[in-house]
């Protein structure tokens, strides 16, 4: 699937997914849609890129810390939920306001600002970050049996009865790992 | 609750449980997938309000439209969306649908976890046979 | 001068309750601060402990005049209302007697330990345990609340456990410690149940209220639970005092350091059971059951233990069995309920309680000296020590003579009383019992006489068996000699002037057990009465059988080696050793390993639980099916059919890819079904999520070793599983079918539909519910999603112990259970 | 006196309306927020550590404030989003607030212990976040008054615990395959449980039309009075027993526990055995005595039967084990059986006893697990038969283990005795003589296995005489829990009083229901 055609098309599809997901996200209150569906749709687009380009390349393209994304989303949702407390209301108390845009007597339509929208932003981010993170983590991982060398080191440490912090495992995935894309083809 | 939907749900349950009792670890995951679907269908179908309409209240039509799931799709193919607020009994039960939305996500999350686990079990035990997962006993 | 100080009642204003609490808590507090002091005093820490016990003893002495005037020395602090536990203390004659014994022997033991324990030992720990023990023993003596008594009771078990296991490297001590703990603490549990039952019947746990109120006692005696309560309490008491079948722990407890044996396992702790029997004497005595259980057990134990003592060659083992036998005297006597001289049994027992403590502690200390000097406790290696250790010899003679019941020592006095009470009891029952009971008592006396004589004969007289050891032996230092000398002096004193002790110690105790009893009169010489004749017979028969001592011992040895299985120890060892392997078998058959069995259990249980209300409903004539709900548009039948087909496809396809694709198709169809069910949001979500989960499935499958399902089970297994699937599906069907709104209630959904626009400004009610009405659920939902991500992250990075698989499994096979190792060191006594 | 102190604190709190008004939800909101922060700050190690400590202490304080509020003002209901019973209501009665306090306390101990115990990479990247979210889940379960919300938080707790099982420990003594195997069993059984829970919830909703616990309880009791209680409601209640029984490890549902608890890292084992299995107890208390209370005559005999089997099976398993942590896990099964015994007897006294038992067991068992962690590190094996003579090298741990063993075995004056005695007493009062007798025999077995393991770990020939640098961060929590195990025994009056109030609130749920239904939707 990693042909040029597929890659080009997937880029286009990604763009469409992005736009439509934003659309769905904004529409959520009145029409089918909302933060969750929007997020999942965008994830579909992102995963398509991952599948067609291979994980490492796609990672380089996005340069995103998906771990952080859902952390941020969770934080945002939490804060949106806590915020009403500072206004002497209960947790998760919602409010909305419809603002009319009217300049010089000409109506430019009206926009609705709902506090639940803020919360939905959090949902949106968590869904994107979490789902992409899960799938890329599973896709990236390559099983490698523990090296002999490490074993010796640890056993030596044990004999000396000193609890040393174990050598840090490399968090970054090296380039030679098999990408999920290859697996998915 | 509708008998045929109930029959479907319980059939899926039975099938899911049969699969969960299967020896193959991947089939267990599939079994959970089927059971998740069964639960979700059950939740949706057991809505108390059995109205004819999608639970979206439309007071003003055509303010703006979307290009796939517009009003046409919502009102035409699936179910009509009526104008104006109306009595609650006209709608399908929105609460159960909201609950299912949550349930879908949760079952997806657990599926992701169990799949990761299955992958690692396959690497560690070198088999997908569940009966070999008996190293801890007694 | 000391007496003058005691009688200068300048402290009269002090609340006696405070004194009692002080007596109990002083040892505990001392044990707590002992490590701090110990770091300064080093090996001299023993003197600190001695001082503490001396203070306790003085405080007890201070209370004696009050008690002998029968003042009410008690106090109460409410503790836990729900349990009826009060911190209530009370001093009467019996508790003062026990407390005096405990604190006095405590002084002797701590004093003696300074010489006995080598500075290399962990002295802090030793004295800590001893002090804790002494405190809890005093607590038993003074507590007036049953549960409080139980609290101290179990504390003595624990401290005894720790002291027996003082030499914690040796398997023998561990064996003994575990045995003592299991039997005494376990027996205590049964006793606790008995106490609770008493509390339920009488409505109070206060001993003084129960004992003093005749109405309550009558109530208790007529209660249907009386037999149960009595048996439960006696189990605890007998376990502690090593009576009946529970005696087996005491000989093994002799692994403790000798001063500990002297203190705990002869003089004081084992008396706790006796103390309890005495405490409950007013409540339970007078019933037939009491006599049969208590005296019966006592007499059997007395003869049996005395008989076994003959074959022992270990000095401490002899004394251990002798202790069991002597305690059995006490139990027997407390069981007697006589009409003529109704309190003769109680008086005799109480007096003997005091005497036994003195001579047995003294003997143990002597044994300690001998073992310390010779380095062995085997009686066959000794002999002729009288020349080397004359002082020890004299003390030993005094103590042994007292134990054997030879005038003019105190043991003689109480033994006479024992004989007298047994004669009276026998007469009361009449018939053949009037001979059997005194004869049993006589037999007990003869056995005691024999092993007492043997003790002196083998250790101090005759020719030395082991020259090397003999040459090393010499008189010990003053520290180790003074306590036995004091005790021996006491033995003589009580023997010659019993009235002083009876008046201040024994008589108040008797009064507190049996109020208003006659004054006890003891004299060394009271004519040719029947007890005196019995004493003469005792000595004569004892001397006669002593000639054949070795033959008796030999026959016992032969019996034991031939019938090894015929012993309680054997039973205990089997139970303890096999406990782990047997329960491993049971547990292994429950917990089999593979998860499938567990799931089956869970489902079977689920079905069972659903069946309960279902059958109730069905048999009461309920209608399970409602035909009105069986309508559906025709197009949906088709959809349902395809869903079923895809699901079956996912189930039976052996190749993973096919199965996943089938599952995925099913997911999309389900999305369509949602659309039919008027849920557009759901349909969209389902489509997207299904896509993602298919990708996830595929990503995992691509990494598996095999891309195909393992061979299915044998057919019979599969049929079982199908059956379980079918039944659970069916039972769920019934539950699902029944789900339907009950008329009068308005569902929540209506509120949401009616108020959505007004409250939230959104028209898509589902979405409004998700982010607003039940947004709190949604925050949980996204948390779950984040958690799944974190889980995946953690699972991928999980590390375990480095593998040494094959080696370890071999080791596991070779390694034996710890209990198995113990079989080797099972002592040879019955 | 406690009431006075509580009301003083409550008055002080009134001056801070922000906290006073929201103290019901803050024990959930704060760890949720903290969990998110921990994910974001995962590269700043020091900051994260202190933040986590601060958050744990804050939660403890909040839980304390919550319980004082409940003591002074009675049960309080808090409508999330101000939608009354139609939205989600958090209800803090004395039972739930004391569970929150217990959770906060034990989790603080486990957090402190973790600093030294958990491998640094695992600790920084995911451990804190998972831990905080787990606490949020636990508090959510304890405080929520909505059954579907209960499900959601149940899942949070469940997934968080799975994630935490896979946290890496320094010097691990668990085989990775055991971890996978145990977690797989846990996950599979838990997922079936979740499915069953959803079915039960939806059956209830489909019949009653309500998700609010108090509302459902009211409506079911109305139906019951009219004599037309639908059977599927009873079945739903029984299905809930499966779900919570699965968490609490009741007999035919206990299989996962001996595999999972030992394989988890020690502080997590302590949390699992100390708190997480109590979630099952809490849930069944709510199910049997609040929501489906009219049908409790169906539930109690079943519970009594399976609790007795659980007691015996757990004890047998514990006797059989040579693996230290596995023995403790089996002991947890047996002990939770005791709690359920008290619960199933169903009188006010026995429920109070079960409550007290639960709390004392939580303290003792988590301390035992933490102690076992240090012991295992030192001995480098989990097999008790291979240990020996450790008392010389680790006297502190031996004393702590001794106190824990005494508490579990019910030997005075440690806390466990009083709860066990209370249980026996109330059991006898209620006339459940046979059950009490079985419990007593098993208590004897408990003495056997607890002390047998103590002996084989700490006595005997010292095979290895290695120095083990047990850090203060590991000893401090054990010491605190030790002190609590002793002090709760000696000064257990407040706990017993609380138990009485809890039992009276549970037996008579009217106060709970009226508190919730008084909340007016906007």
- For residue range D245-258, list pLDDT tens digits in order: 999 999 889 999 99
Against chain B, the chains showing at least 3 CB pairs within 8 Å are A, C, D
Residues 6+ apart with CB under 8 A from C204: C84, C210, C216
Closest residue, chain D, to A116 (C-alpha) = D81
With contacts defined as CB-CB under 8 Å, which chain A residues touch B64? none
With contacts defined as CB-CB under 8 Å, which chain A residues touch C695? 47, 51, 135, 184
- For residue range C444-489, list pLDDT tens digits in order: 999 999 999 988 888 888 888 778 777 888 888 888 899 999 999 9
Against chain A, the chains showing at least 3 CB pairs within 8 Å are B, C, D
**What is the distance between the alpha carbons of residues C177 and C190, in angstroms, rounded to a whole number?**
20
Residues 6+ apart with CB under 8 A from B126: C705
Strand partners, A113: A97
8 Å CB contact of B10 and C729 = yes
Residue A138 touches partner B, C-beta closer than 8 Å: yes
- For residue range D299-337, list pLDDT tens digits in order: 899 899 999 999 999 999 999 999 999 999 999 999 999
Q: How many CB atoms lie within 10 A of CB D134?
A: 28
Residue D42 touches partner A, C-beta closer than 8 Å: yes
Closest residue, chain B, to C797 (C-alpha) = B120
Q: Nearest CB to C792: which of A73, A91, A134? A: A134
- For residue range D425-469, list pLDDT tens digits in order: 999 999 889 999 999 999 999 999 999 999 999 888 876 656 566
Q: Which of D329, D340, D249, D269 is nearest to D299 (CA)?
A: D340
Phi, psi of D43 (to 5 degrees): -95, -10
- ipTM value, please give it: 0.91
Percent of chain B with pLDDT over 90: 34
Q: Closest approach of chain A CAs to the CA of B87, in angstroms?
A: 18
Residue B112 touches partner A, C-beta closer than 8 Å: yes
Q: Nearest CB to A91: which of D29, D40, D42? A: D29
Joined together, the tokens standing for residue D505 give: 């609130």
Percent of chain D with pLDDT over 90: 62
Q: Closest approach of chain C CAs to the CA of B130, in angstroms?
A: 6
Full set of structural domains in chain B with CATH:
1-48+93-138 (1.10.287.3510), 50-90 (no CATH)
- For residue range C127-144, list pLDDT tens digits in order: 999 999 999 999 999 999
Joined together, the tokens standing for residue C27 give: 């040892």
- For residue range A164-180, list pLDDT tens digits in order: 444 444 444 333 333 44
The D residues from 235 to 294 touching A (CB cutoff 8 Å) are none
8 Å CB contact of B131 and C684 = no
8 Å CB contact of A130 and C782 = yes
Give the dihedral sign, CA C57/C58/C61/C66: negative
Residue A91 touches partner C, C-beta closer than 8 Å: yes
Residue B104 touches partner A, C-beta closer than 8 Å: no
Q: Which of A86, D430, D452 is nearest to C821 (CA)?
A: D452
* Cβ contact C354:C494 at 8 Å: yes
Residues 6+ apart with CB under 8 A from D362: D102, D106, D274, D275, D278
Residue A87 touches partner D, C-beta closer than 8 Å: no
* Cβ contact D174:D263 at 8 Å: yes
**What is the distance between the alpha carbons of residues C428 and C288, in angstroms, rounded to a whole number?**
13
- For residue range D381-392, list pLDDT tens digits in order: 888 888 888 888
Residue B93 touches partner D, C-beta closer than 8 Å: no
Q: Which residue has the higher pLDDT, C194 or D377?
A: C194
With contacts defined as CB-CB under 8 Å, which chain A residues touch C779? 77-78, 81, 92, 119, 122
* Cβ contact A40:C685 at 8 Å: yes
Joined together, the tokens standing for residue C557 give: 């040895």
Residue C783 touches partner A, C-beta closer than 8 Å: yes
Residue A113's SS3 state is: strand
Residues 6+ apart with CB under 8 A from D202: B42, B43, B46, B96, B99, C739
Determine the pLDDT at residue A110: 66
Determine the pLDDT at residue C822: 36
- Hey, of A84, A134, A181, which one would you mutate to test binding to chain C, going by the most C CBs within 10 A of its CB? A134
Residue D245's SS3 state is: helix
- The domain ranges of chain D are 2-517
**What is the distance between the alpha carbons of residues D464 and D389, in angstroms, rounded to a whole number?**
8
With contacts defined as CB-CB under 8 Å, which chain A residues touch C702? 180, 183-184
Against chain C, the chains showing at least 3 CB pairs within 8 Å are A, B, D
8 Å CB contact of C82 and D499 = yes
Host H or E run for residue C289: helix C288-290
Against chain D, the chains showing at least 3 CB pairs within 8 Å are A, B, C
Percent of chain C with pLDDT over 70: 93
Kindly state the average pLDDT of the residues C520-549: 85
Angle between the C146-164 and C123-142 helix axes, to the nearest 10 degrees?
160
Determine the pLDDT at residue A54: 85
Q: Closest approach of chain C CAs to the CA of A48, in angstroms?
A: 10
Residue B106 touches partner A, C-beta closer than 8 Å: no
Residue B116 touches partner A, C-beta closer than 8 Å: yes
8 Å CB contact of D82 and A86 = no
Q: Give strand ranges (E) for D392-465.
A: none
- For residue range C222-272, list pLDDT tens digits in order: 888 889 999 999 999 999 999 988 999 999 998 889 999 999 888 888 999
8 Å CB contact of C747 and D121 = no
| Bond preceding residue C408 cis, omega within 30 of 0 | yes
Determine the pLDDT at residue C233: 93
Which residues in D have their CB inside 8 Å of a CB on B?
Answer: 148, 152, 155, 159, 162, 176-178, 180-185, 187-188, 191-192, 194-195, 198-199, 202-203, 205-206, 209, 211, 258-259, 317, 320-321
**What is the distance between the alpha carbons of residues D425 and D407, in angstroms, rounded to a whole number?**
18
- For residue range C629-665, list pLDDT tens digits in order: 666 677 778 889 999 999 999 988 888 999 999 999 9
Q: How confident is the model at residue C10 (pLDDT cuts 50, 70, 90)?
A: low
With contacts defined as CB-CB under 8 Å, which chain A residues touch C785? 70, 126-127, 130-131
Number of residues written out for chain D? 522
Q: How many CB pairs under 8 A join A and C?
A: 158
pLDDT surpasses 90 at C104:
yes
8 Å CB contact of D238 and C609 = yes
Residues 6+ apart with CB under 8 A from C298: C243, C328, C329, C330, C331, C332, C333, C334, C335
pLDDT surpasses 90 at C341:
no
Residue A20 touches partner B, C-beta closer than 8 Å: yes
Determine the pLDDT at residue A108: 67
pLDDT surpasses 50 at C819:
no
Determine the pLDDT at residue C503: 85
Q: Nearest CB to D177: which of B106, B113, B124? A: B124
8 Å CB contact of C801 and D172 = yes
Residue B15 touches partner D, C-beta closer than 8 Å: no
Number of residues written out for chain A? 185
With contacts defined as CB-CB under 8 Å, which chain C residues touch A131? 692, 785
Give the pLDDT of chain A (185 residues) as one tens digit per residue. 567 888 888 889 999 999 999 888 887 777 788 888 899 999 999 999 988 888 888 888 888 888 888 899 999 999 988 888 888 888 888 888 777 777 776 766 666 777 888 888 999 999 999 999 998 888 887 766 554 444 444 433 333 444 444 444 444 433 333 344 444 43
Q: How confident is the model at residue C287 (pLDDT cuts 50, 70, 90)?
A: confident
**What is the distance between the alpha carbons of residues D461 and C588, in angstroms, rounded to a whole number?**
30
pLDDT surpasses 80 at D72:
yes
Closest residue, chain A, to C689 (C-alpha) = A40
């Amino acid at each position: 699937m990693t042909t040029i055609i597929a890659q080009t098309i997937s880029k286009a599809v990604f763009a469409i997914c992005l736009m439509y997901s934003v659309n769905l996200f904004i529409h959520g209150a009145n029409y089918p849609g909302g933060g969750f569906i929007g997020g999942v749709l965008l994830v579909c687009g992102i995963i398509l890129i991952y599948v067609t380009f291979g994980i490492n390349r796609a990672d380089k393209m996005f340069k995103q810390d998906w771990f952080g994304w859902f952390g941020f989303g969770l934080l945002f949702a939490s804060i949106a939920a806590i915020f009403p407390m500072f206004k002497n209301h209960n947790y998760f108390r919602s409010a909305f306001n419809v603002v009319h845009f009217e300049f010089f007597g000409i109506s430019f339509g009206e926009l609705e600002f709902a506090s639940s929208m803020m919360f939905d932003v959090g949902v949106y981010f968590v869904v994107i970050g979490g789902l992409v993170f899960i799938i890329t983590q599973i896709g990236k991982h390559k099983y490698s049996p523990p090296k002999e060398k490490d074993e010796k080191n640890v056993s030596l440490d044990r004999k000396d009865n000193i609890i040393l912090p174990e050598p840090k495992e490399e968090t970054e995935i090296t380039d030679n790992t098999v990408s999920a894309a290859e697996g998915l083809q | 609750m509708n008998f045929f939907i109930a029959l479907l749900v319980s059939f899926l349950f039975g099938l899911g449980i049969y699969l969960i009792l299967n020896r193959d670890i991947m089939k267990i995951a599939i079994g959970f997938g089927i059971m998740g679907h069964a639960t979700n269908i059950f939740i949706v179908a057991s809505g108390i309000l059995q109205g004819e309409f999608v639970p979206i209240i439309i007071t003003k039509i055509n303010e703006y439209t979307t290009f796939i799931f517009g009003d046409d799709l919502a009102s035409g193919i699936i179910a009509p969306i009526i104008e104006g607020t109306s009595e609650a009994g006209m709608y399908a039960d929105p609460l159960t649908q909201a609950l299912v939305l949550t349930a879908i996500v949760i079952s997806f999350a657990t599926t992701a976890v169990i799949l990761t686990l299955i992958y690692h079990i396959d690497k560690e035990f070198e088999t997908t046979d569940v009966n070999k997962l008996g190293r801890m006993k007694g | 001068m000391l007496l003058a100080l005691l009688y200068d009642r300048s402290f009269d204003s002090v609340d006696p309750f405070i004194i009692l609490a002080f007596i109990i808590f002083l040892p505990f507090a001392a044990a707590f601060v002992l490590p701090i002091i110990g770091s300064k005093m080093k090996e001299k820490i023993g003197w600190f402990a001695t001082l503490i016990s001396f203070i306790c003893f003085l405080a007890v002495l201070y209370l004696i005049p009050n008690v002998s005037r029968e003042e009410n020395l008690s106090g109460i602090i409410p503790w836990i209302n729900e349990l009826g536990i009060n911190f209530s203390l009370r001093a009467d004659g019996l508790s003062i007697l026990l407390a005096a014994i405990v604190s006095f022997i405590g002084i002797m033991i701590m004093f003696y330990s300074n010489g006995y324990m080598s500075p290399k030992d962990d002295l802090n720990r030793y004295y800590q345990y001893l002090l804790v023990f002494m405190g809890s023993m005093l607590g038993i003596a003074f507590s007036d609340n049953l549960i409080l008594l139980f609290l101290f009771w179990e504390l003595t078990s624990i401290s005894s456990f720790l002291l027996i296991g003082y030499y914690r490297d040796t398997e023998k001590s561990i064996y003994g410690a575990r045995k003592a703990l299991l039997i005494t603490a376990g027996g205590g549990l049964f006793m606790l149940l008995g106490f609770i039952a008493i509390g339920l019947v009488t409505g109070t746990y206060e001993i003084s209220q129960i004992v003093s109120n005749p109405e309550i006692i009558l109530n208790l005696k007529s209660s249907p639970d009386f037999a149960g309560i009595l048996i439960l309490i006696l189990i605890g008491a007998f376990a502690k005092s090593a009576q009946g079948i529970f005696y087996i722990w005491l000989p093994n407890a002799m692994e403790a350091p000798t001063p500990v044996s002297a203190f705990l396992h002869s003089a004081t702790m084992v008396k706790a059971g006796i103390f309890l029997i005495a405490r409950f004497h007013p409540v339970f005595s007078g019933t037939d059951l009491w006599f049969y259980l208590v005296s019966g057990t006592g007499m059997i134990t007395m003869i049996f233990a005395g008989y076994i003592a003959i074959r022992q060659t270990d000095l401490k083992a002899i004394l251990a069995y002798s202790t069991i036998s002597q305690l059995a005297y006490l139990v027997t006597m407390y069981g007697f309920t006589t009409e003529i001289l109704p309190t003769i049994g109680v008086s005799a027992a109480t007096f003997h309680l005091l005497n036994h403590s003195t001579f047995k502690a003294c003997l143990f200390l002597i044994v300690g000296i001998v073992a310390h000097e010779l380095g062995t406790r085997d009686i066959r290696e000794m002999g002729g020590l009288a020349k080397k250790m004359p002082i020890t010899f004299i003390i030993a003679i005094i103590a042994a003579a007292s134990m054997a019941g030879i005038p003019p020592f105190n043991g003689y006095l109480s033994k006479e009383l024992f004989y007298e009470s047994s004669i009276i009891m026998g007469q009361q029952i009449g018939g053949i019992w009037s001979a059997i009971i005194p004869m049993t008592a006589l037999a007990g006396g003869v056995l005691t006489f024999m092993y007492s004589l043997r003790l002196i004969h083998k250790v101090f007289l005759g020719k030395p068996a082991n020259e090397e050891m003999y040459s090393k032996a010499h008189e010990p230092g003053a520290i180790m000699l003074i306590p036995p000398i004091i005790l021996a002096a006491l033995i003589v004193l009580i023997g010659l002037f019993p009235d002083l002790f009876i008046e201040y110690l024994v008589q108040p105790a008797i009064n507190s057990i049996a109020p208003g009893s006659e004054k006890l009169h003891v004299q060394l010489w009271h004519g040719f009465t029947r007890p005196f004749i019995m004493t003469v017979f005792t000595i004569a028969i004892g001397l006669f059988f002593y000639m054949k001592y070795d033959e008796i011992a030999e026959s016992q040895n032969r019996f034991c080696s031939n019938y090894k299985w015929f012993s309680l120890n054997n039973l205990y060892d089997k139970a303890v050793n096999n406990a782990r392997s047997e329960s491993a078998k049971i547990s292994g058959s429950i917990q089999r390993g593979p998860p499938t069995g567990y799931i089956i259990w869970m489902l079977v249980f689920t079905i069972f639980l659903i069946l309960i209300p279902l059958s109730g409903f069905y048999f009461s004539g309920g209608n399970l099916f409602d035909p009105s709900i069986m309508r559906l548009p025709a197009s949906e039948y088709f959809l349902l059919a395809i869903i079923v087909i895809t699901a079956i496809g996912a189930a039976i396809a052996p190749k993973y890819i096919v199965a996943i694709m089938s599952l995925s198709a099913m997911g999309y169809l389900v999305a369509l079904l949602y659309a039919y069910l008027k849920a557009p949001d759901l349909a969209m979500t389902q489509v997207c999520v299904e896509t993602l989960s298919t990708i996830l499935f595929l990503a995992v499958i691509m990494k598996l070793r095999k891309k195909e399902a393992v061979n299915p089970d044998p057919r019979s297994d599969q049929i079982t599983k199908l059956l379980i699937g079918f039944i659970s599906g069916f039972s769920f069907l019934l539950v699902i079918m029944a789900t339907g709104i009950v008329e009068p209630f308005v569902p929540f959904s209506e509120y949401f539909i009616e108020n959505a626009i007004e409250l939230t400004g959104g028209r898509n009610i589902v979405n409004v519910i998700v982010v607003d009405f039940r947004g709190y659920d949604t925050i949980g939902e996204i948390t779950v999603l984040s958690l799944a991500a974190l889980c995946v992250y953690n699972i991928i990075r999980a590390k375990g112990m480095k593998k040494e698989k094959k080696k370890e499994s071999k080791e596991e096979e070779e390694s034996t259970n710890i209990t198995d190792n113990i079989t080797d060191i099972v002592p040879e006594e019955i | 006196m406690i009431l006075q102190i509580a009301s003083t604190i409550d008055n002080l709190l009134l001056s801070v309306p922000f906290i006073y008004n929201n103290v019901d939800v803050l024990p959930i909101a704060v760890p949720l927020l903290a969990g998110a922060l921990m994910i974001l700050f995962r590269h700043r190690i020091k900051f994260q550590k202190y933040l986590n400590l601060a958050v744990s202490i804050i939660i403890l304080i909040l839980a304390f404030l919550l319980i004082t509020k409940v003591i002074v003002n009675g049960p309080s209901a808090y409508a999330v989003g101000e939608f009354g019973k139609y939205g989600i209501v958090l209800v803090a009665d004395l039972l739930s607030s004391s569970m929150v306090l217990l959770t906060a306390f034990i989790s603080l101990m486990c957090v402190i212990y973790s600093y030294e115990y958990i491998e640094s990479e695992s600790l920084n990247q995911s451990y804190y976040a998972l831990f905080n979210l787990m606490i949020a889940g636990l508090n959510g379960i304890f405080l929520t008054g909505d059954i579907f919300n209960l499900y959601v938080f149940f899942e949070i707790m469940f997934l968080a615990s799975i994630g935490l099982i896979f946290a890496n420990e320094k010097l691990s003594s668990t085989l990775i395959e055991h971890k996978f195997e145990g977690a797989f069993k846990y996950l599979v059984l838990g997922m079936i449980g979740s499915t069953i829970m959803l079915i039960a919830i939806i059956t209830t909703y489909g019949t009653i039309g309500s998700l609010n616990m108090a509302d459902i309880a009211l409506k079911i009791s109305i139906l019951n009075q009219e004599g037309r209680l639908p059977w599927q409601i009873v079945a739903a209640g029984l299905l809930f027993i499966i779900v919570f029984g699965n968490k609490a490890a009741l007999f035919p549902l206990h299989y996962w526990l001996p595999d999972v608890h030992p394989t988890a890292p020690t502080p997590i084992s302590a949390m699992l055995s100390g708190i997480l299995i109590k979630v099952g107890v809490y849930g069944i208390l709510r199910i049997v005595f609040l929501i489906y209370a009219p049908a409790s005559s169906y539930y109690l005999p079943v519970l009594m039967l399976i609790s007795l089997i659980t007691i015996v099976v757990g004890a047998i398993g514990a006797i059989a084990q040579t693996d230290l942590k596995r023995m403790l896990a089996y002991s947890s099964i047996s002990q939770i059986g005791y709690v359920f015994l008290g619960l199933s007897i169903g009188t006010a006294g026995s429920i109070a006893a079960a409550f007290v038992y639960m709390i004392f067991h939580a303290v003792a068992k988590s301390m035992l697990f933490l102690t076992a962690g240090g012991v295992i590190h030192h001995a480098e094996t989990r097999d008790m038969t291979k240990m020996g003579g450790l008392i010389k090298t680790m006297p502190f741990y031996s004393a702590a283990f001794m106190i824990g063993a005494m508490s579990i075995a019910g030997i005075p004056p440690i806390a466990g005795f009083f709860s066990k005695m209370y249980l026996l007493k109330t059991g006898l009062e209620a006339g459940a003589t046979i059950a009490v007798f079985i419990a007593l025999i098993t208590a004897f077995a408990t003495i056997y296995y607890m002390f047998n393991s103590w002996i084989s770990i700490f006595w005997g020939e010292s095979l290895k005489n290695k120095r083990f640098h047990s850090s203060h961060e590991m000893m401090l929590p054990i010491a605190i829990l030790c002190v609590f195990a002793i002090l709760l025994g000696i000064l257990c009056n407040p706990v017993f009083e609380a138990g009485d109030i809890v039992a009276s609130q549970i037996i008579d749920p009217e106060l709970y229901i009226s508190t919730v239904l008084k909340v007016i939707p906007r």
